[in-house]
Structures are given as structure tokens and as C-alpha cells.
Structure 1
Amino acid sequence: MSDVSVKAALPPARLSVNAALPSQRVSSNVQWWREADVSVKLSMFWIMGCVIVAIVAQQIAPYDPAAIDLNARLQPPILLGGAWTHALGTDDLGRDVLSRLLYSVQITVAVAVAGTIISTSLGTLLGFLAAELGSAVDECITAFVDMQAAMPFMIVALLLIAVFGNSILLFVFVLGLYGWERHARVVRGAALTTRNHLYVIAARTYNASRIRIYRKHVLPSCLPTIVAGMTIGLTQIVLLEGTLSFLGLGIQPPMSSLGNMVGFGRGYLMTAWWIAVLPGLVIAATALALMLLSDFLRDRNWSANDRIKQ
């Protein structure tokens, strides 16, 4: 009789657990927002704003960013007594700074996101291969990672651009080669730890394929670490794009990016500082927002791992 009562009690218990899952997810999301500092929340709003601007830049830009008007050259922003027709002033060729800034955010975000995706994908794949195959493959990948980490990347980027020429596709590829060794090292360590978990061992016991194990178990477990690494990599690629474009080795005219806007305006810092300072402030604010967000994700990931261990 007791067995029957226990069996009868099982379905309601199972239903109660499943019914509690959505509320647990909602409370987890609310807790995630409450744990975030004011600076982190402002950083998320800034990043979302940059993404929205990158999507709708053509619709909200008041002028063609390449339109030249020599009669309106070097007009100051509205705060310095300029006209509302050019709220952020004009550059040395009479081009509207606001329009060029909006298009530059679009180009910089697109190039940085593409380079980050390439870098993260390459590092994640090599990290998984090193963790799964081990032995000679692991030693070769680790040696390659150490060699890449020891090599000054700026020299590699200058060499590739000098040999193969400058194009947007090559520039994105060069940015994609930056930081992949960091992703590979972190993902390898996380995959080696995840492979020893009981659910992965159980999946191997039931003869699950390697691809299925990594797709269903290892990758979801490593995903928070990968996302935190992506935010750090995105910050560094934004700064790298700005550096190379400032030196004239990145985005080339008639396209405009934040880096080459700073490069073109550096000769007018004493007379028309807004040409270089405004895009420079956008670069600094974006890098700071990404760093604050990456620190928050990293700390939250560590606290989650500590709760799992307990």
C-alpha cells in the first residue's frame, strides 16, 4: 500500500518541479538585472544604442557622409555657436560630422563584430580539438597558441596588409586573427573540465558521438566563458580597428570609420577639434562600456561556478 501511495505521489511532484521552472527563469533574470551596477546598465544601454545606430544609420543620417560643401567647411557644432543644419559641425571639406559619425559607427561595429566572430570561432574550434584529441594534436595547438601569443600582432597585421594590399575583406580577416589564441586557451581549459562531469561520462557510456556530446553538453557548459571572452575580444578589436585606421591601414575612403575620422581630424585639433575629438570620445565610450560589461559577465560566471561547486 505504501508503494502505491509513493507512485501516486510521483506525478504531482514532477509536475510541480516543471511548473516552477519558468518562475525560476524569471526570478533569475530579475536577479541578473538587480545585480548589475549602474555603470553596467549604462554600458548595456550604450552598446544597444550603437547597435541600433549601426542598423539604421542610412535612415537617420541627415546628409550623405561623402557630400562635399566647401562653402560650409569647418563650421563649429551648435554648442559653439554653429547652425542647426550641422549640429556637430563640419570638417575641412564641408562634410557633416554627425552624418559621418553615424556611418562610422556602422562600419566600425560591423567590422569589429565580424572580426570577433572569426576570432572566437577559430579559437573555440581549436580549443575543442586540443581538449578532445589530446596527445600530439594538443601539443601542436598549444605550441601554436604560445607562438601567436609571443608574436607582436601589430607587426603581423602590417605585414599582411603590405603584402596582400588593403581591402575590406582582408582587413576583417586580419582583425579575425587577433586574440584567437586567448579563446583557444580558455576554451581548452573549460572543455577539459567539462569532459569530466558525470553527464558527459554518461553520454559517452551510451555511445553518443563526439559531435553530439560537444554540441549538446560541452558547448552549452562553456558558453558563458565564451561570451565573456567575446566581449573582451570585441573591445580589443574596436581599439585595434581604430589604431590601424588612424594610421591609414584600415578602412579607406570613401568609406568612413571612427579610426580614420580621428586620423583625418588630427591636423585640425587646434582649430577644429570636434573633427577628431567626437569620434575619439565614441571609441573611448564604446571600449569602456564593453570592458565594464565583460567584467560583469566574468564575475557572474565565476559566482555561478562557485554555486555549482557548493
Structure 2
Amino acid sequence: MRSFFVELWHDKAAAIGLIVIALIVLAAIFAPWLAPHDPAAQALTARMRPPVWLPRGTWDHILGTDNLGRDVLSRVIWGGRVTLIIGVLTCLIAATIGTVVGLWAGYAGGRTDSILMRLVDIQVSFPGILLILLVVGMIGSGVGTLVLVLSVTNWMVYARLVRGIVSTTRQSQYVDAAEIVGCRPARVIFRHILPNLVSPLLTILILEFTNIVLAEAAVSFLGFGVQPPATSWGLDVASGRDYLIIAWWLVTFPGLAIAATVLSINLFANWVRVTTDPEEREKRFARAVAAKRSRRSPA
């Protein structure tokens, strides 16, 4: 762990990204203790209060209140919990489906590969957001429905990635040797092929998490996602869009939470991609050695 943090600290952007991610996750976990108010509690006498640093702002509502008198800070904290839960569950389910399909297609090859990849191509051809709205509109909205729909519409990227890596690894000599000595296909897949997928899967999982967060925000913004009295960042942005001119804080703070989450995850994912890729690590080491030699050489 010490070497991990030492190496991470050399990439300041990734370190800052990880710190921001950790703070957001901790805030979501401890939302019942950190939120100063019930996010659904209404107080019409305190509606449209601005943030504390503006005139009429009070310390009782640090980031102000919305059109129903609900505390914006509490809704941002609780909204982060819902958004992160949707993102994590969706990524895990989509990654599981895509990895299984990709492993099956890449290892079996032939007709099985062609059929499975054509199914992937067919689903990719449908606009993702349109398919999400269609399914949610038919079976109803809610957190569980949103997780299911986002998982079904995002597993293809994992399937394509895994299938490409497995198809290449399938021709490796160590895989041939394992098959020659009599290893069953399941052992070959899980013992010899699957470990090669850890690094690319981890990277794509982190990057896809940002897409899920943005997709959840977009669907909730359109009114097909999380429904009141529950809250999410996308729903908060949707609720405040009609008051953007007179109460900018209703949209700004949930929007900043989405932007900070997506940016931090992208910065950290870029470092993970480089760190877990042996070729990229070798290039980075070579650049560091070259830089040291250039500093030592006389001017």
C-alpha cells in the first residue's frame, strides 16, 4: 500500500482525483450524519433562500433552499448516495454480463462468436438514451428499473473488449500448452485467460462509471429516472431548471457535484490505465531515466 500511494503521489492530478472520489464516497456513506436536514423536508417559509455568503442567506441552509424550502446541501449529499449506488450496481451487472459473453465468444470462436457479436452489433445500433426512455416508459421508473435498464444498454462495451483480448490470448503458447496437458476449458478460461483481463476491465469499469453517472443524470433530468421523494443529482438539476434565473444555486451545486465526480474518476482512471499496463509503465520508466540523464549532463 505504501508503494501504491508513493507512486500515485507522483501523478498529482490522479492523487487529487482519488481524494475527491474518497470524499464523495464518504459523504454518500455517512449522509444520515452529515446532512444537516432531511432532504425531503419542506419549509415554505424558507423557500428560495440563497447560499450563506449572499444577502438573505443563513447558516441554517449553507447552500440555500429550493422552491419548496428543502435544504440544497442535504439534497446534494443524499443525491450523491443514490447516484453512486446506481453507478456501482450498473457497472457490476453490465461488466458481469459483458465479460461472460465476451469470454464465451472469444474462446469458442466460429459460429458462436459470429452470433454473439451480431447480437452485440444489433443492440449497439439502437440509440442508448432512446432505448432507456422506451423501456423505462413501458415498465415504470425507479432506482431498480434504472439500474436494470442501464445495465442492459451498457454491457456491449465489455463484451467487445473481452472478446478482442480473448481472441488474441487464445492463440498464445501457454494456452495451447494448458489444453495439450488436458486442462478443461473452464480452467483454461479462469486460470490462464481471465487474469489477462484484469487491467483492461478495471480501466474500462472506472471509465464506464462516469458514463453511467451522466446517463442517470440525463434520464432523471428528463423525468424518467429517480422519482420524488427520493433525490439524485440529475433530479435536482431537473427540479431547478425552471428557477435558473432567480435561483442559480439549485442547478449549480448538483451540476458541480456531477462534474467533480466525472472529472476525478477520469483523472484516476488514466493513472490506473498507465500503472496496470506493463508497456505503458516501461515507457514511463524510460522517460524518467532519460529526464534524469538530461539533467545530469553538462549544459
- Of the structure 1 ranges 299-308 and 139-148, higher mean CA displacement relative to structure 2 is found in 299-308
Structure 2 residue aligned with 1:73: 47
**Larger fraction in helix:** 1
Residue identity matched to 1:74: M
* Contact 1:258 1:283 (C-alpha < 8 Å) held by counterparts: yes
Distance 1:217 1:142 in 2: 23
Moved more, 127-136 or 143-152: 143-152
Code of the aligned partner of 1:273:
W
- 1:100-140 superposed Cα distances (whole Å, 9 cap, x missing partner): 11100000000111111111111111100001111111001
With a CA cutoff of 8 Å and minimum separation of 6, indicate the structure with the bigger relative contact order: 2
1:227-242 superposed matches below 5 A: 227-242=202-217
SS of residue paired to 1:84: coil
Please tell me the residue identity of whatever aligns with 2:8.
Answer: W
On the 8 A contact 1:67/1:95 being kept in 2, the answer is yes
Residue number in structure 2 paired with 1:50: 24
Tell me, in whole angstroms, the C-alpha distance in 1 between the residues paired with 2:256 and 2:273: 26
Question: How many aligned positions are there?
Answer: 282
- Alignment partner, residue 217 of structure 1: 192
Query: Secondary structure at 2:68's aligned position in 1?
Result: coil
Q: 1:75 to 1:66 in 2, by over 3 A?
A: same
Structure-2 residue corresponding to 1:269? 244
Q: What does the per-residue CA deviation read over 1:239-290, in whole Å, with 9 as the maximum and x for residues that have no partner?
A: 0000000111100001000000000011111111111110001101111112
CA contact (8 A) 2:207 2:265 kept: yes
Per-residue deviation at 1:306?
A: 7.7
TM-score norm. by structure 2 comes to 0.88
> What is the correspondence of 1:235-254 to structure 2 with a 5 Å cutoff?
235-254=210-229
Question: What amino acid does structure 1 have at the position aligned with 2:86?
Answer: V
Match of 1:98 in 2: 73
Residues 42 and 239 of structure 1, relative CA distance in 2, 3 Å threshold: same
SS in 2 for 1:125: helix
Worse-superposed segment, 93-102 or 80-89: 80-89
Closer, same or farther in 2 for the Cα pair 1:32/1:177, shift >3 Å? farther
Contact 2:274 2:281 in 1 (8 A): no
Equivalent residue number for residue 148 of structure 2? 173
- Could you tell me which residue of structure 2 aligns to residue 297 of structure 1? 272
CA-based RMSD of the aligned residues comes to: 1.9
Q: 1:201: Cα distance to partner?
A: 2.8
Out of 180, 204, 226, the residue aligned to residue 205 of structure 1 is 180
Residue in structure 2 matching 1:85, options 42, 49, 60: 60
CA contact (8 A) 2:165 2:197 kept: yes
Deviation of the 1:162 alpha carbon: 1.6
Deviation at 1:301, TM superposition (A): 4.0
Q: Once the two structures are aligned, what percentage of the paired residues are identical?
A: 37
The separation in 2 between residues aligned to 1:113 and 1:261, in whole angstroms, is 20
Partner of residue 191 from structure 1, selected from 153, 166, 171: 166
